[in-house]
Structure 1
Amino acid sequence: MKTITVQDFYNDTAKATQENVDSLLPPGIQKEIGHFNVFSLVDLVAKYKKDPGNMLYSQREFYKISLIRGKSIAEYADKVIEIEKYALLFATPKIPYHWIPQDLDQKGYFCIFTSDFLLPSKSGAVLDDLPIFRPGGCPVFEISEAQADEMVLIYKKMQEEMSSTYLYKYDLIRNFLMELIHYGQKLEPLTTYNYIHNASARISSLFIELLERQFPIASPEQKVTLRTAKDYADRLSVHSNHLNKVLKKNTGKTTTEHISNRLVQEAKILLKQTDWNISEIAYSLGFEQLSHFSHFFKKQTNLSPIEIRTGADGM
């Protein structure tokens, strides 16, 4: 499964709402560092032709802050959070989740943005260091009607600035965005989780999704970033031992076995179907040293990368 980019988001939204992609893009955003946009759920939900249960937003390349005013569900790897009336939901690309409205009576807002929009002079890692976006938490906050009304004012200010001609409007929007983030960090997270019987199946499914999301490798510059069981457990906000136990029970393979098998599968494809040198392939698969890659590959297949490339495996 490929990473969902900002462009994928607009393509999917345009298809669902039967609108032109260009009409959804903010004017002049391509000239700005990073990307930002803000939407009203009232406008979007009214235009969706599908059942609300199919309106799934999965975080991928971008961040998202949602003001939810309506009955819905936030589904994570090992828990389901029921939202009865009002909530703030903060989403990061590193933690997969589904937001599922339970009816069409949704009256909130959401904004999407990339890390380089909010912090154009810093790395994305700084944004992930903010408490609200750290793995391991559950950034869904139940709020009152009065608090929701306060948040509406911030989103409306964002919308107004998006259509304004003010030269420094994106600087002002960044301030509004940070106001949302700080507001959320002062709140207590919604901790009444609904753990359900199929949590282990969902963890397994999301693990496979995260694993497949790193492939295929399209260029020598692309690099696998999740290499260890702990990497995946952190993204799913579960303990690495629990993840391993769940995968072993549901699939018969450990976390490390899944990762190793997928790396070998991709390595064989790259060795046979590209002209990249083996050092480039090793680097793209997360091996800093060619010798480490060769040792790993030999241990998994009983063949060297050279033998696979020259067809010694008989394929």
Structure 2
Amino acid sequence: MAKVRVADIIQKFNLELVSGEEGIHRPITTSDISRPGLEMTGFFDYYPADRIQLLGMAEITFSQRLTSEERKQRMEKLCSDITPGIIISRDLPVPEELIEASEEYSIPVMKTPMKTTRFSSRLTNYLEYKLAPTTAVHGVLVDVYGVGVLITGSSGVGKSETALELVKRGHRLVADDCVEIVQQEEGSLIGHAPDLIEHLLEIRGLGIINVMTLFGAGAVRSHKRITMIASLELWDQHKHYDRLGLDEEKVKIIDTEITKITVPVRPGRNLAIIIEVAAMNYRLKNMGVNTAQQFTSKLANAIEEHSNHDHTQFN
């Protein structure tokens, strides 16, 4: 199923549809936009036909200098089978030959009063967001001290209960149970909740609660960049857990690597506080303060001094 169709950008940017109405359901498959300047001169060897074609002052002014026959030929070539649509900026006049070709080949021709560069930038941003790679993850996303923490773990381990405790402590819920993730650019994952379950938390024994209704608008947010994963797992006494924090595990979501910590769950452990501290520690590391490394360095120095002291006494 196409993520974006021409009809979507007509609605989003309030474009005026001039001709080629039959083609408004054509899919847009790339966020790249083409300014067909060279094509207007007749050079179609590298014509990126699969892009939205944007005609500004330069293209329209040049087309007016062509003979009617040349203009007809160029406009027909612009309207290829895979061209999603043609947009004229600045409310410039649409060449009659373009209207005829668009009707013949069902290529929508649209107009906008916006300046070419500004419109091109806004349309590119919109298409990049809409066409970005997406995935969905089973987990809970919470904004903890400005750090987007994705809480994962098997069903029933206590993810939603931990999120509820975090909300009670003043942090903000983004999504529970299903987190939809968009990779807007390499290295940036944005998580949000599906519309159906936005602001809702499912707590076993209580059922579904509306966090915004219970705790107010300050307890929720619509989306958040994911920077850390906290994986909850039932305590396994035979497994070795990191006690210093030197081992930094990474998990790949789409094409982006995210720092992951594993939090063992057993009675008496306050998971919300552990996740709070993990988020603060993550921020400290980003500022260049790595407590685990500092401790290891001090320990190595102490061992070295002690061995030197013993060596001196022995001599």
What range is the shorter-chain TM-score in? under 0.3
> Hey, which of these two has a bigger chunk of strand by percent?
2
Between 1 and 2, higher relative CO (CA 8 Å, sep ≥ 6) is seen in 1
State which structure, 1 or 2, has the greater radius of gyration over its C-alpha atoms: 2
Report the TM-score, using the length of structure 2 for normalisation: 0.22
